[in-house]
Structure formats: C-alpha cells, structure tokens
Amino acid sequence: MPPAANAGPAPALQSYLNIDAIIDAVKKTGARAVHPGYGFLSENAGFVDRLNEEGIIFVGPPASAIRALGDKVESKRIAKQAGLNIIPGFIGEIQDEPHALQVAAEIGYPVMIKASAGGGGKGMRIAWNESELKQEVIMAKAEAMSAFGNDTLLIEKFVEQARHIEFQVVGDHFGHMVYLPERDCSVQRRNQKVIEESPSPFISAEVRAAMGAQAVRLASAVGYNSTGTVEFVVDKHSNFYFLEMNTRLQVEHPVTEAVSGLDLVHLMLAIASNQRLDVTQERAAAINGAAVEARVYAEDPSRNFAPSPGLLKVYREPEGPGIRVDSGVVEGSEISIYYDPMVAKVVTSGATRNQALARMESALDRFVVRGVTTNMPHVRSCIANPDFKAGHYDTSFIPKYYGGPDGLNPLAFPLTEHQQQDMFAAAVFTHVNRARRYDPKYLAGEDDVARLTLSWRDVHGNKLVPLDVVVRLAGLQMVGREGVAAGALEIQLPSRVAYVYSMRQPPGVVGKQAYNTYLRHMMVDGKPITVQVAKFIPRGVIMQYLGAQRELYIESPAAAALSQHMPAKSKASSHRVVRSPMTGTLVEVLVQHGSEVRLGDDLVVIEAMKMRNAIKADREGFVDEVFAKQGDVVSADQPLLKFW
C-alpha cells in the first residue's frame, strides 16, 4: 500500500478543501502527482496553480480550462461563442435576491438555481414560483459555500420532461480531442444521478454525432487536455442544449469504460505524462454492447432521501460475469455525516441492454448491506419498472412513479400479482424448511399436509390480509430429480399452485459471495428468483423481492385467527414533537420559545453529507420548547422542538 497522510479534521473546509493541508500531505508522502478524484478541489483552478508552483503534476486539465469551463457562468459565455445550443437564461452571476427575482421573472418559471462552482447536485434547486425562489436561493448559497467554498449562483430555465445526457471528451497536449459514447443520466433524485447507462436508449445516431461534435468544439475552444464531461439537456423532441462542463472525471465513468473499452484513468495519467492520445474519433465513438450503473447511497428514500450514516454491520458485494462494484468500504466501515452518502457503484455490462439490465437485477438482488438504510430497494424497483426497461423515462421518472406520501416506502413498491405470489411462496418455503429442521417428522411423508395462514400487512401497517395456504411435498413428475433432492414443496396459494425448491446459488453465479444467510435463492415454477430477508420482526419477517418489501406473518390458522384480534402496539403520542429525520449538524435554528409558526415554515436547517435540509412545520401553532442549538450534531429521530 502507498503511504497515507492525514489531511486534517473531518469537516471538508478544514481538510479536503484546505489547499495547504493537501499540499502538505503530498510532500509527506513523496508523491509527484495528484489525481483529484470526483469532488472537493477537483475543479479548483487555484489548487492547480499551487501545485504548479510546487512542481507537482496535476492529473487533469490546465487551470485556464478549469477557470473557463469549471465556472458555469463563464462556460455558458464560451459555449455560446463556440456555437453550442444554450438553455435560455441569464448569462452572468446572480447578485442578490432582487436580482434573482428579476431574472426569474424575465425567463419565466420554473427556473433552475445552480452553484456556479459546483456539481453533483450540491447548491442546485428548482423554484416553481417567486416564494420558492426566495427560499431556495438562500439554501443554494449556503450549500454551495459549504461544499465548494464559493456561493456564486446562476439561474436558467428549467426544461421539463428532459433527458440528462452527457458526453465524455478526452484531449491531449497536442490538440487531439475526441468524444466517447454518451451516458444517459436522467434517473435522478434531488438533481443527483442515481442510475446511468450507455448508450442512451433515446437519442438517434444523428443526434449522437451532433452532440458529440458540439462537446469536442467546446473543449477544443479552451485548449482542454485531459478527460472531461460536457452535459446536455435534451427535450422530448430531441432538441439539445448545453448544460455545463465538468472539468474532471465523473463518478459514472465506468459506464463509458465498459462500452468503449478505454481506461479513462489510464488515459488521464498518460496525458498528464505528456503522451499523445493514440485514439481516433472513429475508435473512440465505437459502441460495444451496453452498460448500466446504479449508485448505492446510505440514505432513506422513505424520508425524502435523508442521509443514513452509521456502521456497516454487514456488507456483501455481488460477484459474477459483467458485474463491477467500485467502493471504498468494507464490513465494519463507518459511513460519516461529513461526506457524500455514496457507499458503492454497481456497474453491469453485456452484449445488449437487456443483458446488462438482467445482470444489474441479479447484482442488486445479491448485494447485502445492513447497519445503515440504503436506496438499494428503490434502485432495484426502478430497474424493474416496465417504462425504464423500455427506455421510456426522463428526469421526472422518480417523482412520476414514486410520488405521494408512501411512494418511496419499499412496502409500497409495486409488484404484479404473480410476482407477489412468488414472494409469498418463497416465504412459505423458508418457514416450512425451518420447521422441518427442528422437527424431522414435520411434513415428512408423501401424504402429509401442512395448513398455514400467511398474512401480510399493507403499507400503512393498520390491517392484516390473511391467505390460506396448503403445503405438501412436491412429486417427481412436477419438479424432477433435482427438485426432489432439494426438498421441493407444492405450495397451494388461493389463486395458484407453486412448486418451490432451494438453490445454493443462482444459475451462473460462482464464488464465495454466491450465498449468504441474508439471501434465499429458489426455483419457483421453474424460474430462479432471489429474495432477501430485509428484517426479522416479532412473529414475522419483512421480505424483499425486486426491491419491493412486504411484512409477512406465517402461522397456524388458529394462531392467525387470534392475531386478528390482538390490538396493535400503541405508540406514545408525539404529534407535537418535531424530530430530526436524519443524523447531521444543526446549522440553523430559525425559531425559539413562543415563535408563531405557519404551515410550511422552515424550523431548522440540518447539514448532512454535504447537503442542507430545511425541516418544515407540518402544522400551525406556537413553539413551546427548543431542545437543540446551532452547531449540535443530532441523530435521526432526536427531538428538536415541540409545539404547545
């Protein structure tokens, strides 16, 4: 392992955004070059200047290109001069709130507010009216300053029903510049990418060539030499507009590597070493198969994607052909409140889009994380969505399919009736197998029958739906020798008979990661499925299949009948208490004892994982007591204040 050096305290402004601290770390380790990664100082021209002064190589573009293109305001001016299509908006910095209101009124709502120096969704907000604009400008400025040390903003028209499509460009020091296959990054939450794929299932070859040519034209205009990404927004008629350029390597670069066969980090290092880029435009643009990336975040979608820091008690990555997992954690690692909540990137590739998606489904089904809440169930559900599979999606995909009060709760994620019965059959099989291990005589003979009741609770948790189930051993003629040897069962559900047996691992999966105690690999009616035990609960279990979860109870009919009459466990009344939805730092407390509050007013602001989150009032009233103060680190569900 290469030597490591402590860059400073956890807050980014004191460490990873502290140029002196980074330079000191470089000198301590004896490094001759710095690869800046994805964020922090990766697009900071002042950092590049300092490295040049110290005689240290920066693995990236020159400071002049970063200044020109890394600033979103200046990049729009350059793009317009270079003949690129530009989104309507004000090409300049927003001076203050009155200026923001004036610009938005001229452009027309909705508008997008952006941090000029930023990326990754930080300092980015949508305002649909004047009232929202006033609030979002304040939040965006604070978020941008925290993440990038620069609170300059710009405002542009928000394009609805848009696709977010970007092009990787690579250029050397000798004027040779090429574009690579595009990435479609339209599935987003909070303006941050969640799923990316290449090539886009939406654009035509003609549009691809035109967009790629504009990307090269922009980068060439500033003498760019390294990898970079030119981002476009594309409307439903395939009209495309320049969005911004990221003068660094992107998080999602493995997708491009998979379809192009080019190692982008290797190219960055070669170019930084003053080598020529020995790749023709024809070779660079060639598309070989398809690839998909899913970002795994430590966050809780059911709490509006609130960060979920904590300890990774269980961490098991999937393995298999065409599966790549990039991560910087292991079992036992801590997900900190100070940095981005990304845990890992799952990248799958195949000869076709369908094969890449099938491998992604298998990988997410077998990826087990416990100790923190992640977005994996949600991402898995997105991948299974018929419109996503058909390539019919845009940046409104998540709000469209997962909107509403319970839309982001895994217990509400959709399953077809047949898929839900597959899950029920798998749960019954698991229950019966456990009983047979404890009692060898249980369901041991061909004529033995087990009668059970499977009950499942709806998303609101206020009622149980009971189903009568009959179980017996499956015959040779139905499941074959393999099934009989694996203890196959015939499970009679109210509307279907399922034949189920266990597999040690899914077909085509090998290695030590193929099986663990949190997974159940089964053959249901000749189809292999994988379910996860998401959580054990009193008298039952929460099972997960295709990302969707269901709260299940499997009991004897007599026990189930009694359960129907048992009162639900009452919860202490807390309707007057406002609790923190996440772990983070309380950066603003906007109310005090006696404050009058209206519905929707901001109460406090919590910063977690480089994002600022305003906690709003869900009622009108007066504040009785405030339990925390500015600067406190609060945990999820910690009481913050209460109303009279």
pLDDT score at 514? 46
Q: Which residue segments constitute the domains of the chain, with CATH numbers given?
A: 295-408 (3.30.470.20), 412-563 (3.30.700.30), 577-643 (2.40.50.100)
SS3 for 63? helix
pTM, 2 dp: 0.84
pLDDT value at 12 more than 80: yes
- Section 396-424 average pLDDT: 93
Q: What percent of the chain has a predicted confidence (pLDDT) above 90?
A: 65
Q: Say how many residues make up the chain.
A: 644
Instruction: Say whether the peptide bond before residue 341 is cis (omega within 30 degrees of 0).
Output: no
CB atoms within 10 A of CB 554: 24
Q: For residues 599 and 355, which has the higher predicted lDDT (pLDDT)?
A: 355
pLDDT single digits (tens) 458-492: 776 667 889 999 999 998 888 888 888 888 999 99
- Angstrom distance (rounded) from CA 169 to CA 423: 45
Residue type, 387: D
Lookup: tokens for 528: 């292999």
Backbone phi, then psi, for 68, in 5-degree steps?
A: -75, -45
Q: How far apart are CA 437 and CA 333, in angstroms?
A: 35
How do beta strands 33-34 and 57-58 pair? parallel
pLDDT at site 119: 62
Q: Can you list the pairs that 393-402 forms with residues at least 24 positions away whose Cβ atoms lie under 8 Å?
A: 393/186, 393/187, 394/161, 394/162, 394/163, 394/186, 394/236, 395/161, 395/162, 395/163, 395/164, 395/186, 395/187, 395/188, 396/160, 396/161, 397/186, 397/187, 398/187, 398/188, 398/189, 398/194, 402/301, 402/378
Residue with tokens 């600022």: 612
CA 152 – CA 277 distance, rounded (Å) = 35
Q: Using the predicted structure, report yes or no on whether residue 600 has a pLDDT greater than 90.
A: no
Name the one residue in this structure whose structure tokens are 């300053």: 145
Crossing angle of helices 264-272 and 253-260, rounded to 10°? 100
Residue of higher predicted confidence among 326 and 94: 326
Predicted confidence band at 157 (pLDDT cuts at 50, 70, 90)?
Answer: confident
Q: What is the mean pLDDT of residues 511-538?
A: 83
Distance (Å, rounded) from C-alpha 544 to C-alpha 176? 50
Contact at 8 Å (CB) between 229 and 69? no
Q: Are 626 and 595 a contacting pair, CB within 8 Å?
A: no
Work out the angle at residue 222's Cα, subtended by the Cα atoms of residues 216 and 228, and round it to the nearest 5 degrees.
55
| pLDDT of 517 above 80 | no
Query: Would the pLDDT of 513 be above 60?
Result: no
For residues 512 and 528, is the Cβ–Cβ distance under 8 A? Answer: no
Least confident of 90-99, 186-195, 435-444, 622-631: 90-99
φ/ψ of residue 13, rounded to 5: -65, -20
pLDDT digit string, tens, across residues 390-404: 999 999 999 999 988
* Number of neighbouring beta carbons within 10 Å of residue 469: 23
Active site residue 248: yes
Active-site residue identified among 248, 359, 550, 612: 248
pLDDT of the residue at 568:
59
DSSP string, 370-433: ESS--SHHHHHHHHH-HHHHTT---TTHHHHHS-STTTT-GGGS---HHHHHHHHHHHHHHHHH
